[in-house]
Structure 1
Amino acid sequence: MSFDLDAYLARIGFDGERAPTRATLDALAAHHTAAIPFENLDPFRGVVNRLDPESLQAKLVHGGRGGYCFEHGLLLQAALRALGFTATGLAARVLWGSPDQGAIPARTHMLLLVDLDGEQRVIDTGFGGMTLTGTLRLERDTAQDTPLEPFRLVDLHGDWAMQARVGDEWKTTYRFDLHPQHPIDYEPTNWYLCTWPESRFVSTLMAARATDDRRFALAGRRLSVHHLDGTTEKNTIADVDEFRSVLTRDFLIDAARIDGLDEVFARLP
């Protein structure tokens, strides 16, 4: 099955110039994150995410669903290559929320490095609650604006570390190196994250989506809406009907096409 670029661009609502330019790259980051949510409903339900091109397009493009980093990253990589970009997959060690910023956890995250007009840019549409909505120059120690928070890349023991400015504080999301990854390299980690009983993707339901002025975040039954002005709304979902409504309204997930949502909601803390 070939990649259906027209269907992907329609899915994310992009009708701009189809040229491998900086403007196109930034627009794709913004449109993709606004249209296709981060979510782990399948691993939480005991279904292993499939990373082959056919499955990715069936789920994220045609199926009214989102996914997690490997799904987002591989789908976006296919789209970028179809548009004429050179996009290389990388792997990252997640540090978001970790008290030890020098820790070396497993490489469980995917991001992309794009060669563009003599510079390299990072694009990452699959990091959940703090995903990039723009792109970053591969350059250390420079705060870079995105449609939402400023981000920067810094040195961390020879690796690159991505940081987001949250309020007045720079917080590290993950660390990575520039060793290229191929689709097969993500398969073992994908299986591990979808099946290991202690994996967060198996034990905790999460969803996230970013627009041009807010971030939606779902953790179990707790819904948070973080606005660009720094204010946050929090709500606890009361029942399965509200759960379906939140998935559809805030995360653009076609809840009617997902089996077993009653059982899913009953498991949520």
Structure 2
Amino acid sequence: MNERYFARIGIPAPAVPDLAGLRAIAAAHTRSIPFENLDSWTGIEVDLDPAALTAKLVDARRGGYCFEHNALLRRVLDDLGYRTTGLSARVVWGAGPEAPPGPRSHMLLRVDLPEGPHVVDVGFGGQTLTGVLALEPDVEQATPHEPFRLRRDGGIHELQSLIGGQWRPLYRFDQVPTPAADYEVSNFYVSRHPRSGFVTGLIAARAAADRRYALGGRTLAVHRLGGPSQRRELGSPAELREVLERDLLIDTSGLPDLDGHLARLF
């Protein structure tokens, strides 16, 4: 599987499991494999079985959301000799400061290196980490895109991104390892609950080398590094499908009646 994975992301496998190799993998993965919820939005089961993840994200040239991306990446990293731990987070992105805690509905990875523990997360939509963060609090850390930092309150870490000159909280997590059974439960909730945003609306994103694409419904946002952001409403199901293919790099050919589902947005 690893040979097909590295062909998919367009780089050779690192010769040794080191920090430089991890950074290269994270950057290439997020450029090449998009974030998207076309399965859960169109009523298709999201299967976390390793063979299913490889078939979808690697062979079928689709994307997925956090459980799919980070489970696939974790298997690749483990095979290369990295020491990984799966963690879970509560998403606070878009929530007000007084909002009650949400569920642990997000998956991320800790990778232990000689330099210390690092956070890797290739599955957080429009704010996906394109780099690797040292698990150190209150240190601004550069990535190929925005700077990020981790704040710590007791045993809880909060990931923040510098957007428009302001630090914005994304999610909170602790260091307790998450067993596979918990990811299965969270995946079922995220992909099947009638009020889940991954069921009620179309979401897709990709981090290109010099910009981020973020699609919500029929609204496409393009955030250029060091430049202005642009938003526009797409005018037809055909244009929306073209954006999914051209900008998000999603092969939509295997999705049944996708045009009918896209037409619901117009």
TM-score, normalization by structure 2: 0.97
1:232 to 229, 234, 255: 229
Q: Deviation string for 1:169-201 (max 9, x for gaps)? A: 000000000000122220011111111110000
Q: Name the SS for the 1:98 alignment partner.
A: coil
CA displacement at 1:125 relative to structure 2: 0.2
Between the aligned partners of 1:14 and 1:185, the Cα distance in structure 2 is 32
- Aligned CA distance change for structure 1 residues 236 and 102 (closer, same or farther; 3 Å): closer
1:110 to 107, 110, 113: 107
Q: CA RMSD in A?
A: 1.3
Match of 1:218 in 2: 215
- Is the counterpart of residue 198 in structure 1 residue 198 in structure 2? no
Match of 1:97 in 2: 94
Q: Are the counterparts in 1 of residues 121 and 129 from structure 2 also a CA contact under 8 Å?
A: yes
Match of 2:205 in 1: 208
CA displacement at 1:120 relative to structure 2: 0.4
Match of 1:160 in 2: 157
CA displacement at 1:24 relative to structure 2: 0.3
- Is the counterpart of residue 41 in structure 1 residue 34 in structure 2? no
For structure 1, the residue ranges without an aligned partner over 5 or more in a row are none
Aligned residue type for 1:218: L
Stretch moving more, 258-267 or 117-126: 258-267
- Is the counterpart of residue 264 in structure 1 residue 258 in structure 2? no
Stretch moving more, 248-257 or 66-75: 248-257
Aligned residue type for 1:114: V
Between the aligned partners of 1:182 and 1:152, the Cα distance in structure 2 is 26
**Correspondences of 1:48-197 after superposition (within 5 Å):** 48-100=45-97, 103-156=100-153, 158-197=155-194
Q: Are the counterparts in 2 of residues 209 and 215 from structure 1 also a CA contact under 8 Å?
A: yes
Percent of aligned positions that are identical? 48
Q: Are the counterparts in 1 of residues 206 and 214 from structure 2 also a CA contact under 8 Å?
A: yes
Q: Name the SS for the 2:105 alignment partner.
A: strand
CA displacement at 1:104 relative to structure 2: 1.8
CA displacement at 1:228 relative to structure 2: 0.4
Aligned residue type for 2:17: P
- Aligned CA distance change for structure 1 residues 117 and 158 (closer, same or farther; 3 Å): closer
Q: Are the counterparts in 1 of residues 90 and 103 from structure 2 also a CA contact under 8 Å?
A: yes
Between the aligned partners of 1:14 and 1:157, the Cα distance in structure 2 is 39
- Aligned CA distance change for structure 1 residues 209 and 178 (closer, same or farther; 3 Å): same
Aligned residue type for 1:117: P
Aligned residue type for 1:257: G
Match of 2:245 in 1: 248
For structure 2, the residue ranges without an aligned partner over 5 or more in a row are none
Q: Are the counterparts in 2 of residues 167 and 230 from structure 1 also a CA contact under 8 Å?
A: no
Q: Are the counterparts in 1 of residues 155 and 175 from structure 2 also a CA contact under 8 Å?
A: no
Between the aligned partners of 1:157 and 1:171, the Cα distance in structure 2 is 20
CA displacement at 1:47 relative to structure 2: 1.1
Between the aligned partners of 1:118 and 1:150, the Cα distance in structure 2 is 20
